[in-house]
Amino acid sequence: MTMVVQAHEVWKRFRSHDALRGLNLNVEEGSAYALIGANGAGKTTTLKLLMNILAPTRGEVSVMGVQTQRFSHTLLNQIGYVSENQVLPARLTLGQYLDYLRPFYPAWDRELETSTCARLHVPLDRRIGELSHGTRMKAALACALPFRPKLLILDEPFSGVDALVREEFMEGLLLQAGDLTLIVSSQELGEIETVATHVGFLDAGRMLFEESMNDLQARIREIRVVLERPALNAEGPAALPAERAAALPAGWPAAWLRAQVFGNVISFVDTRYSPAATEQLIHQLLAPVKQIDAQALPLRTVFTTLARAARDGAKP
């Protein structure tokens, strides 16, 4: 297993604020790594550290085995970067900007450039400054793919763009699926879920967890329990809304989040799901049980559930 990106105990301080606090990050070669977290969690700071736009206050960050502060032009030729705040030369047309970029990249693929621009429907003859925000984002991607980077970093590429642009952006990205390592941070979790192989959850500058999408979806399930009779226990966890607090037994596991009660139906999210163990514990706490259903959750629901738990001090 080869790691393309590694960060070890990285801190980044801005005056009196620690944006990153002991960050650890590991991105496997060939993976599509989704870096998720609430606004202000440190995602953009992390990606800027990977690009050597920022330097860590302490700790080490390496890309392809090289510490970021020792980047060479040769290494930078293998890294693509697209950011929502990226500045492109407004006075140039996209065609002129592509002409400018080609000599810097020995591996530039003209056929890939042509096919990417066509698939993304970006106008080559219009000044970049005249393009809409969404079209500028597609133009930035069209500039980042033709030199076939080994690592592509995307920082909120879908911010402020409509559904059609997001779809075209993803189509352009998938042109090179499997040929590169991808790191993407985005609030549009439904878009990145289709490509992500790994997930890192950043909270307040720390990595709460990072794991494969398969493992994440296997361990986090929405559970729906149908009881033989309505739940009557008057003791419930504080996290349960007051109007539904007359339901859950003492000893409710901390890993069972977002509990809701509707008559004889109890639903919750199990963040440590194990088919046999979960079912056994449900029967112990909630018997008599009539039916148990477990469903996988979309990444957006996983994120909102875990973000709320992290905010409330739980450890998902």
CATH entry 3.30.70.580 includes domain 3-215: no
Provide the pLDDT for residue 79.
95
Please, which pLDDT band fits residue 200 given cuts at 50, 70 and 90? very high
pTM for the whole thing? 0.86
Cβ-based burial of 4 (10 A; exposed 0-12, middle 13-18, buried ≥19):
buried
Please, which pLDDT band fits residue 172 given cuts at 50, 70 and 90? confident
Provide the pLDDT for residue 84.
87
Q: Residue 94 pLDDT > 60, yes or no?
A: yes
Please, which pLDDT band fits residue 307 given cuts at 50, 70 and 90? confident
Closest CA to 24 of 201, 228, 262: 201
Provide the pLDDT for residue 247.
55
Provide the pLDDT for residue 232.
47
Provide the pLDDT for residue 233.
46
Cβ-based burial of 55 (10 A; exposed 0-12, middle 13-18, buried ≥19):
exposed
Q: Is the distance from CB of 303 to CB of 36 less than 8 angstroms?
A: yes
Say what percent of the chain tops pLDDT 90.
62
Q: What digits encode the pLDDT tens for the residues 45-54?
A: 999 999 999 9
Q: Is the distance from CB of 84 to CB of 44 less than 8 angstroms?
A: no
For the ranges 101-110, 129-138, 176-185, 275-284, the lowest mean pLDDT is seen at 176-185
Domain ranges of the chain: 3-215, 221-296
Cβ-based burial of 205 (10 A; exposed 0-12, middle 13-18, buried ≥19):
buried
Q: How does 30-52 read in b/e, with b if 16+ C-beta sit within 10 Å?
A: ebbbbbbbbeebbbbbbbbbbbb
Tokens at residue 98, please? 């592509």
- The SS3 call for residue 202 is strand
- The SS3 call for residue 193 is coil
What residues have CB less than 8 Å from 294, skipping those under 6 apart? 221, 222, 223, 224, 270, 273, 275, 278
Provide the pLDDT for residue 192.
81
Looking at every residue in the chain, the average pLDDT score rounds to: 87
